[in-house]
Amino acid sequence: MAPARPKGRQPGNAPSDGREMPYLDLTDEMIGPKRTRLSLTYIEGVMLWPHDEAARKSAWDTAYGAHLLETLAKAAPRTESPVPVDARDALLTMNFLANARPLPEVQESAKAACARGFVAGEILRLALTERHSGAEAGITAIKSKIAEGLQGKEHFERLSLSTIENSIWRIYRPVSHLYAASFMLAQQHIAASQPHAFPCRLDELPDFLALSEKLRLNGEGHHPRQYAGTLLDPETTWAVPANLSIPEVTITWNGRSSQAVF
């Protein structure tokens, strides 16, 4: 039986750790030993469309329909005369596939969002790295360096400081810690010639969440130079529920680099 689509948390359902919304709608079962790709799909939706619940639901329905189809295919005996699968499951699958957006369409719409999200993640990561190195240049300087570094890059839009501030940082700041965690894990895998994935490999989902939480807490506690408020806003940043079982993680900061140690 396929897992149900995560429902949006209501304030009354949020863990009692003193924070307001929003929380990632995750359970220990969803990140436990029997976790499925759907757990990553849910997190991807939050990262790509943090302020657009309709877009998240649309992408989820597409992925969920594909998951149901794959589940039914695996359930059917590999014989010349297969036994029909449960009619209710088949009807549910057909309903999802009939109403969901085509997967290539969803993937295409996610490309620009993903690229912009990683820019926000890099702003956060560099700001925290500078803080721990004791050489803060400021958020504006970081945004300028990123804009300059991306000039002329193939398959990437030209970015101005106003675009980074209004169309990237403002929108993806609440999930920038998730993008930073994804980037840091990918860096470590690339250095070790290991496979990596967005936002993470399924086998490292608990580590990914633990790293993102460490980055979130760092960001919510940091007051950058010439910046109004904290780097991340505790009222709007997506957080892991306080009662979720995730491992301990330490981040080592070295110059302009950072590494997670589990």
DSSP-assigned letters across all residues of 206-246: HHHHHHHHHHHHHHHT---TT-SS-SS-TTTS-B--TTS--
Predicted confidence band of residue 12 (pLDDT cuts 50, 70, 90): very low
Element (H, E) at 193: none
pLDDT tens, residue by residue, 150-208: 887 776 777 888 999 999 999 999 999 999 999 999 989 998 999 889 999 999 999 99
pTM for this predicted structure:
0.81
The C-alpha angle with vertex 22 and arms to 16 and 24, in degrees rounded to 5, equals 90
pLDDT over threshold 50, residue 14: no
* pLDDT number for residue 258: 63
Mean pLDDT in residue range 89-112: 61
Predicted confidence band of residue 79 (pLDDT cuts 50, 70, 90): very low
pLDDT over threshold 70, residue 231: yes
Structural domains of the chain, count: 1
- Portion of the chain with pLDDT greater than 70, in percent: 73
CB 175 within 8 A of CB 46: yes
Q: How far apart are CA 184 and CA 175, in angstroms?
A: 15
* pLDDT number for residue 230: 94
* pLDDT number for residue 86: 53
pLDDT over threshold 50, residue 249: yes
Domain that holds residue 253: 27-76+83-261
Mean pLDDT in residue range 124-129: 92
* pLDDT number for residue 7: 47
Does residue 12 form part of some domain? Answer: no
pLDDT over threshold 70, residue 98: no
Does residue 57 form part of some domain? Answer: yes
Predicted confidence band of residue 94 (pLDDT cuts 50, 70, 90): low
The CB density around residue 202, as the number of other CB atoms within 10 Å, is 13
Does residue 1 form part of some domain? Answer: no
Predicted confidence band of residue 16 (pLDDT cuts 50, 70, 90): very low
- Portion of the chain with pLDDT greater than 90, in percent: 45
Q: How far apart are CA 91 and CA 226, in angstroms?
A: 57
Does residue 3 form part of some domain? Answer: no
- Burial code (b: 16+ CB inside 10 Å, e: under 16) for 121-141 equals bbbbbbbbbbbbeeebeebee
pLDDT over threshold 50, residue 51: yes
Does residue 235 form part of some domain? Answer: yes
* pLDDT number for residue 88: 54
Does residue 230 form part of some domain? Answer: yes
* pLDDT number for residue 65: 72
Residue 25's SS3 state is coil
pLDDT over threshold 50, residue 129: yes
Does residue 15 form part of some domain? Answer: no
Dihedral (C-alpha) 147, 153, 157, 161: value to the nearest 10 degrees? 10
